[in-house]
Chain A
Amino acid sequence: MGRIAYSLIYSGQVNKLAGEETKTCLFCHLNKKAGLNILDTFICSDCEKRLVRATCDDRAYQFYLQNLKKFWHEL
């Protein structure tokens, strides 16, 4: 049961059922509602906050960089 609920939440089905439009985040790949829409790409507000705090010494910085490269390639 738990697994089904989990997959429903993360696939955005719950939000869809509630009439809320969700999008998949470029970084965490979770379906979320609030965040940045840059062209056809979505960055959820949690990842956005983390990105703003990240410095180039952080391990996560390379991860953000790789994903942003994907964003540019898909333009």
Chain B
Amino acid sequence: MKNFFLERLKLRLTFLYFSRKFSFPYSRIINYITSSKALPTPLSSEEEHALLERLKVGEGDGEVKGTLIERNLRLVVYIARKFENTGVTVDDLVSIGTIGLIKAVNTFDPHKKIKLATYASKCIENEILMYLRRNNKLRAEISFDEPLNIDWDGNKLLLSDVLGTENDLVVRNLEEEVDRKLLYLAMEKLASREKKIMQLRFGLYNGKEKTQKEVADHLGISQSYISRLEKRIIKRLKKEIKKME
């Protein structure tokens, strides 16, 4: 007896696994796809013609529309199954398709020489496609309050917590500007040759830095002398800036 229940449980779990894998919502694998109680058969062309004639004259409007809808439900299932691999459950697809079918029957013009099934299938497909398009758009959007992770204490790490700019992004530019002004003031205290060396070496006014060798060639002195001068000038500039601060 116990084995029987275990076997039943195993079978049920296997069924559940496969139904989830193939994105069929469990328990309703769906009545309307494998059910013994099948959906109503589609209308024959004579029946459809007779109903459309009644629709033309506006006789029994609700009843006629109802019949046209229920006899085309198979079409909804057929079209919905074409979109099974889109990440939307068959349940949803079939329901969206039904909305499409109701819209089709309501907007169908019986005076036009077109079959209802042809018109309805376009409407059903359109309805599903519109839903999928909107769904995809939503999937690309993300909320700032989206929890990325939850720690053991249940605290959520939100996307807004990890987003942001570096702290000193605004202050940094201002500080640089102040430093530059201080440097230029300190430079005023240097001899003209020293000033020239600093300008060329660090591109202070035109932004073009030169190597020690290039500066040496420009001034007609040796590169080692430039190196020594540079160290001395920087030391002096530091002192001058400190004084000003």
Question: Is B130 located at the chain interface by the 8 A CB criterion?
Answer: yes
Number of A interface residues in the complex (CB < 8 A): 24
Question: Is B65 located at the chain interface by the 8 A CB criterion?
Answer: yes
Output the least CB separation between B90 and chain A (Å): 10
Closest A residue to B101 by beta carbon equals: A38
In the complex, are the beta carbons of A37 and B62 less than 8 A apart? Answer: yes
Given A37-B63, A38-B70, are A52 and B92 neighbors across the interface (CB < 8 Å)? Answer: no
In the complex, are the beta carbons of B134 and A57 less than 8 A apart? Answer: yes
Given A52-B102, A56-B130, A75-B39, are A34 and B62 neighbors across the interface (CB < 8 Å)? Answer: yes
The contact of A75 among B32, B63, B69, by CB within 8 Å, is B32
- Taking CB atoms, residues of chain A closer than 8 Å to B35 are 75
In the complex, are the beta carbons of B91 and A52 less than 8 A apart? Answer: no
Q: Which of B102-136 contact A (CB under 8 A)?
A: 102-103, 106-107, 127, 130-131, 134
- Taking CB atoms, residues of chain A closer than 8 Å to B69 are 36, 38
Question: Is A39 located at the chain interface by the 8 A CB criterion?
Answer: yes
Total A-B pairs, Cβ < 8 A: 64
Output the least CB separation between B14 and chain A (Å): 23
Output the least CB separation between A73 and chain B (Å): 6
The contact of A71 among B39, B98, B103, B130, by CB within 8 Å, is B98
In the complex, are the beta carbons of A72 and B107 less than 8 A apart? Answer: no
The contact of B66 among A37, A64, A73, by CB within 8 Å, is A37
Output the least CB separation between B138 and chain A (Å): 10
Q: List 27 A-B contacts (CB under 8 A).
A: A34-B62, A35-B62, A37-B62, A38-B69, A39-B40, A43-B102, A48-B106, A51-B99, A51-B103, A52-B103, A52-B106, A52-B107, A54-B99, A55-B130, A56-B131, A56-B134, A61-B99, A69-B92, A71-B98, A72-B28, A72-B31, A72-B32, A72-B91, A72-B94, A72-B98, A73-B31, A75-B37
Nearest 3 A-B pairs (CB), nearest first? A68-B95, A37-B66, A36-B66
